[in-house]
Amino acid sequence: MSTGLLSLRLTGATVLRDGALVARSVAISDGRITRGPLPAVDLEGYLVLPGIVDLHGDAFERHLAPRPRAEFPPETALRATDRDAAANGVTTAWMAHGWSWEGGRRGPDQAEAFLAALDRYRPQAQTDLRVQLRCETHTVATADRLLAAVRRHKVDYVVFNNHLAEAAALADSAPPGPSRWAQDIGRTPEDFLAALRAARAEAREVPRHLCRLAEAFDAWGVRYGSHDDPDGETRETFSMIGAKICEFPMRRSAAALARAVGDPVIMGAPNVVRGGSQAGNMPARDLIRDGLCCALVSDYHYPSLAAAAFRIVDEQLLDLPQAWALISERPAEIMRLPDRGRIDYGLRADLTVVHAGTRAVEATIAGGRLTHLTGGAAARFMAALGAVAMAAE
């Protein structure tokens, strides 16, 4: 649900503020955290936490194409993703869309269509929805088009991928081989193999291509990084060209190199919740334990964000303020957004309200507006809002 701007004080809850859990109220007015006497909502038995900032999520893909041959308009996917994010306490979310030589659902055509759809949808969005472009390295021929799309749609986050070796190995394997990959992106095996050959032919031009993109991103203030670094050498190369964000490193050496040079490391929250990577890569909990993980993201599953924070607490890896910072304050810092990720005066009123007993997200407030409300919290808010309406009459 979505309403107008709230003018309320949340009382009785345990609040995460200044790095500690405290018993104090939180006032909201004009979309900001404020001071002053305001109508109260009694949230005794709840946690009031900073709104979740999600730097990488591709759960929207299941709303675009819930089955390989069942595609839906991007506006439908955006609306569903918006509500999915809000229901899980997310107030700012980057949707990770491919810009790949593969084409199909991961190609530039689809990326530009999705960006245009988001531009149209944004005025009605509840969550602050943004796009992260996952740019395959072997896309030299589309460089001008990519840069134009970044400028036109104000894209503020790009990561470089290189899955060419993986695709080539699959193409050389026994059936179903490339057929399954092609089906996943909505292409024929023949088209997929032709695109693979063309991408391989660009190999010598890739280093200069990446440096050109990096120079433009630096000039425009675009944050950029790399995805699935297989080793420390690869991470060092990306870091040297300015791609500082290390997203989903596959080996400890990549994460260790990133932290040694001050680059943030991002891991998937589902990895924490499930106890390991579904792809067989490094367990995120090991990096968290060793201080090598800076932030967690939804990856393919929004509910895992809050669940991962509580799992980390239960395993005694971190306390709740530190664990929750991995999905709120730290991501905001990585993206240089000083107005969110914390609860403090003057900041955006982005809040996640969690039942202390069940740990369920029962209310989300994004920019001072209720974007999700359910369970016992709904009764509390409705009672307070009803009292405000009666007083106004």
For 225-240, how does the pLDDT look when each residue is reduced to its tens digit (9 = 90+)? Answer: 999 999 999 999 999 9
Cα gap 49→30, rounded to integer Å: 19
**pLDDT tens-place string over residues 52-105:** 999 999 999 999 888 877 788 999 999 999 999 999 999 999 999 999 988 888
E-strand ranges in the chain read 8-11, 14-17, 20-23, 26-29, 32-34, 40-42, 46-50, 52-57, 90-99, 128-136, 157-161, 223-227, 245-247, 265-268, 295-297, 351-355, 361-366, 369-373
- Would you state the pLDDT for residue 173? 63
Q: Are residue 150 and residue 42 in the same domain, yes or no?
A: no
Q: Are residue 92 and residue 23 in the same domain, yes or no?
A: no
Mean pLDDT within 172-184:
65
Q: Are residue 282 and residue 299 in the same domain, yes or no?
A: yes
Residue, of 91 and 387, whose pLDDT is higher = 91
Q: Are residue 41 and residue 59 in the same domain, yes or no?
A: no
Q: Are residue 208 and residue 289 in the same domain, yes or no?
A: yes
How many domains would you assign to the chain? 2
Going by C-alpha positions, the residue among 27, 18, 17 that lies closest to residue 47 is 17
Eight-state DSSP code of residue 51: P
Q: Are residue 4 and residue 144 in the same domain, yes or no?
A: no
Q: Are residue 214 and residue 283 in the same domain, yes or no?
A: yes
Token representation of residue 192:
């997929």
Domain membership flag for residue 375: no
Domain membership flag for residue 379: no
Q: Are residue 55 and residue 89 in the same domain, yes or no?
A: yes
- Would you state the pLDDT for residue 11? 97
- Would you state the pLDDT for residue 393? 53
Domain membership flag for residue 164: yes
Mean pLDDT within 330-339:
98
**pLDDT tens-place string over residues 105-118:** 889 999 999 999 99
Cβ atoms of 287 and 253 within 8 Å: the answer is: no
- Would you state the pLDDT for residue 323? 98
Cβ atoms of 327 and 269 within 8 Å: the answer is: yes
Domain membership flag for residue 217: yes
Q: Are residue 18 and residue 117 in the same domain, yes or no?
A: no
Domain membership flag for residue 381: no
- Would you state the pLDDT for residue 341? 98
Rounded to two decimals, the pTM is: 0.92
CATH code for the domain of 41: 2.30.40.10
Cβ atoms of 384 and 48 within 8 Å: the answer is: no
Residue 389, pLDDT above cutoff 90: no
Mean pLDDT within 195-213:
91
Residue 2, pLDDT above cutoff 50: no
Residue 178, pLDDT above cutoff 80: no
Q: Are residue 109 and residue 125 in the same domain, yes or no?
A: yes
Q: Are residue 76 and residue 183 in the same domain, yes or no?
A: yes
Domain membership flag for residue 382: no
Mean pLDDT of the chain: 92
Range of the domain at 8: 1-50+342-366+387-393
- Would you state the pLDDT for residue 177? 61
Cα gap 359→361, rounded to integer Å: 7
Cβ atoms of 150 and 134 within 8 Å: the answer is: no
CATH code for the domain of 181: 3.20.20.140
Domain membership flag for residue 374: no
Cα gap 196→368, rounded to integer Å: 47
Token representation of residue 201:
């032919």
**pLDDT tens-place string over residues 256-315:** 999 999 999 999 999 999 987 766 678 899 999 999 999 999 999 999 999 999 999 999
Token representation of residue 223:
């944050």
Domain membership flag for residue 326: yes
**pLDDT tens-place string over residues 121-139:** 999 999 999 999 999 999 9
Q: How many residues does the chain have?
A: 393
Q: Are residue 56 and residue 8 in the same domain, yes or no?
A: no
19-28, 129-138, 186-195: least confidently modelled range: 186-195
